[in-house]
């Protein structure tokens, strides 16, 4: 007897081939039959007539490791059809924490997570694996495929020192990385945009990538700049691939700020040339024209070179504060921000704050906040960073849809959310988060497949399933095939759409009918079943 039989659905199997009507049989964790008509008895039947039966979506770039430990139901992700998420991106992971640099590491994390004093005290994860083991101790709605963050490793060994590591320090970094790779992690992530990533040199990268390559892992890159210097940064990523021969993934490819719109075409051409030369360089993208980051991005580089904590102390000095405001207004060489735009203060929206006194500013633009504070927008930015210990999450409206479509259409573009799991209730319902946390995949299939016809259904499914599985070497997932894990998303092609907006982001999408993870139904129509079959995946080596 089978556990589940999915009847009469149109199967889009994830490989890019045309859909066909058939049944799918599930036994235990696996797909055991795909056939025109399955006559075996089953414990449960799902009538998928008129619906699309797809592999579960694989989020190629997520950050739910920073919320699953709070709420392991992960509803904003599972309810949009995600069954596996690649986490540990952009150099940020919860561990490994080192005793000698814990304070530096927690300051480093301020750009991605708001930690209470109580949480900071307990944040002692000796490895990223120990953190994920804790987060998944009671199960999860979906699987995690983990990377470890280079930033966390480097700050853990060297703090924010701007220099080459010594031989001993390099060995310590490699030992921390090796431990995570031995635990089955899929690779290493780096953010060149943030300290300490923005001052590391090629030799250090090459040493770490050599180890990643030995494990057949992947090295993901949040580039130093995605605007004025987009092209040099793409060339830098390609140079890493050429020097190390490691597999390289450029995270959330985009061109930010209006003067740079259109540069993505040259960036894609460079990536194609590298690929044709035998270099394994890929990229991912999310379907929105706004990105999320920290408010700290708006502070001149000189002010934050020693880390967020020292930056806050520095900005409390009146002379340093005046200098920072002047540089924010006039700009400085080799530093580009959204402040190059005339209406920049209307294009930056506060998403999440730590202190109760400033909670009223969540969801407001810098222009609105400056008016309330009765100061300039530059001074409002600095005051918020001081008040919040530099831990302020924002949304930046900075890209154009033509660029987005050109990236999405590329044959090797994987889809991802660049978001974390949230919920419409409890702790994770707070803040004005980016709507991609809730709506990425329904938006792809509703807006860009059904409405705009940017992609075919088969292409969009492939970019959401088998392509990221292949890219990250996630085995036996990403396709509706016999012998594969039963991670399946069933959706209504005519109704699937995102409902989350920038004004009201905490809304689940429409049109996702069922989501099955490791053979268990997690989403049944509009309800979470309470089942938590998701696991932390381990990459097979050797």
Strands 20-27 and 2-11: antiparallel
Of 8, 95, 10, 17, the closest CA to residue 54 belongs to: 10
Burial class for 211, CB neighbours closer than 10 Å (0-12, 13-18, 19+): middle
Query: Does residue 299 fall inside a structural domain?
Result: yes
The whole-angstrom separation of Cα 530 and Cα 169 is 46
Cut 0.85: pTM above it:
yes
State the chain's mean pLDDT as an integer.
95
What are the pLDDT digits (tens) for 159-168?
A: 999 999 999 9
When pLDDT is averaged across residues 83-95 and rounded to a whole number, the result is: 98
First to last CA, the chain: 35
Residue 541, C-beta contacts closer than 8 angstroms, at least 6 positions apart: 184, 215, 216
Average pLDDT over residues 43-68: 98
Domain count, the chain: 1
183 pLDDT above the threshold of 90? yes
pLDDT at 194: 85
CA distance 83 to 479: 12
Query: CA–CA separation, 278 vs 463, rounded Å?
Result: 21
CA distances, 440 to each of 220, 410, 421 (Å): 20, 18, 12
Residues spanned by the domain of 299: 293-397
Place of tokens 């995949």: 441
Going from the C-alpha of 489 to that of each of 15, 492, 512, the distances in angstroms are 15, 10, 8
Distance CA 472, CA 440 (A): 20
Q: What's the pLDDT at 197?
A: 85
pLDDT given for residue 59 in this prediction: 99
pLDDT digits (tens, 9 = 90+) for 12-49: 999 999 999 999 999 999 999 999 999 999 999 999 99
Query: Has residue 391 got a pLDDT over 90?
Result: no
What is 204-236 written as a DSSP string?
A: HHHHHHHHHHHTT-EEEEE-S-SSTTHHHHHHH
pLDDT tier at 469 (50, 70, 90 boundaries)? very high
Contact 52, 14 (CB under 8 A): no
For 423-433, what is each residue's pLDDT tens digit? Answer: 999 999 998 89
Asked if residue 298 is part of any domain, the answer here is: yes
Q: Please check whether residue 456 lies inside any domain of the structure.
A: no
Residue 353 in domain = yes
Within 141-190, where are the H helices? 150-158, 167-182
55 belongs to a structural domain: no
Question: Helix (H) and strand (E) counts for the chain?
Answer: 18, 21
When pLDDT is cut at 50, 70 and 90, the band that residue 354 belongs to is confident
* Three-class SS of 313-328: HHHCCHHHHHHHHHHH
**Mean pLDDT (whole number) for 303-331:** 92
**Angle, CA of 250, 255 and 259, to the nearest 5°:** 155
Q: Where does 369-463 show beta strands of DSSP type E?
A: 393-397, 413-415
Q: What is the pLDDT of residues 400-420, one digit of tens each?
A: 999 999 999 999 999 999 999
Query: Would you say residue 175 has pLDDT above 90?
Result: yes
Reported as a pLDDT band with limits 50, 70 and 90, residue 491 is very high
Which band of pLDDT confidence, cut at 50, 70 and 90, is reported for residue 542?
A: low
Residue 222 pLDDT greater than 80, yes or no:
yes
Token pair, residue 190, equals 């780096």
Q: Among 87-91, 136-140, 501-505, which is the least confidently predicted range?
A: 501-505
């Amino acid at each position: 007897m089978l556990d589940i039989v999915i009847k009469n659905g149109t199967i889009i199997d994830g490989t890019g081939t045309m859909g066909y009507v058939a049944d799918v049989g599930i036994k235990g964790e696996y797909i055991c039959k795909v056939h025109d008509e399955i006559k075996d008895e089953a414990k449960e039947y799902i009538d998928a007539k008129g619906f699309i039966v797809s592999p579960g979506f694989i989020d190629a770039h997520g950050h739910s490791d920073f919320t699953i430990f709070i709420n392991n139901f992960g509803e904003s992700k599972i309810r949009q059809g995600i069954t596996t998420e690649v986490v540990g991106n952009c150099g940020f992971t919860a561990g490994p924490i080192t005793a000698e640099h814990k304070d530096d590491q927690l300051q480093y994390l301020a750009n991605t997570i708001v930690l209470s004093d109580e949480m900071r005290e307990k944040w002692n994860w000796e490895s990223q694996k120990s953190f994920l083991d804790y987060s998944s101790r009671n199960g999860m709605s979906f699987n995690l495929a983990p990377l470890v963050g280079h930033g966390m490793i480097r700050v853990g060994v060297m703090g924010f020192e701007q220099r080459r590591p010594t031989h001993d320090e390099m060995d310590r970094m490699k030992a921390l990385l090796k431990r995570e790779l031995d635990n089955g992690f899929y690779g290493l992530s780096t953010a060149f945009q943030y300290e300490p990533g923005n001052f590391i040199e090629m030799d250090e990268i090459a040493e770490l990538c050599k180890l990643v390559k030995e494990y057949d892992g992947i090295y993901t890159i949040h580039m130093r700049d995605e605007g004025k210097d987009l092209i040099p940064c793409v060339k830098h990523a390609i140079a890493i691939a050429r020097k190390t021969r490691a597999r390289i993934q450029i995270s959330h490819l985009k061109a930010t700020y209006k003067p740079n719109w259109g540069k993505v075409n040259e960036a894609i051409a460079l990536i194609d040339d590298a690929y044709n030369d035998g270099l394994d360089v890929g990229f991912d993208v999310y379907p929105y024209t706004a990105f999320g980051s920290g408010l700290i991005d708006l502070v001149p580089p000189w002010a934050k070179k020693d880390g967020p904590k020292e930056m806050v102390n520095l900005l409390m000095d009146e002379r340093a504060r005046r200098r920072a405001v002047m540089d924010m207004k006039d700009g400085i060489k080799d530093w580009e921000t959204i402040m190059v735009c005339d209406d920049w203060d209307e294009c930056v929206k506060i998403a999440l704050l730590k202190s109760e006194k400033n909670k009223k500013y969540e969801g407001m633009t810098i222009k609105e906040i400056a008016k309330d504070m009765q100061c300039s927008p530059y001074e409002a930015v600095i005051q918020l960073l001081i008040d919040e210990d530099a831990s302020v999450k924002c949304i930046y409206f900075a890209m154009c849809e033509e660029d987005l479509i050109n990236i999405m259409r590329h044959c090797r573009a994987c889809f991802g959310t660049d978001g974390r799991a949230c919920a419409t209730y409890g702790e994770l319902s707070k803040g004005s988060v980016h709507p991609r946390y809730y709506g990425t995949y329904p938006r792809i299939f509703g807006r860009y497949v059904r409405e705009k016809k940017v992609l075919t259904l088969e292409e969009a499914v492939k970019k959401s399933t088998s392509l990221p599985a292949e890219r990250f070497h996630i085995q036996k997932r990403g396709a509706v095939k016999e012998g594969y894990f039963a991670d399946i998303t069933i959706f209504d092609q005519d109704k699937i759409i995102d409902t989350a907006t920038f004004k009201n982001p905490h809304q689940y999408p429409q049109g996702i009918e069922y989501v099955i993870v490791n053979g268990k139904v997690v989403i049944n129509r509009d309800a979470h079943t309470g089942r938590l079959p998701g696991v932390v995946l381990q990459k097979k080596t050797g």
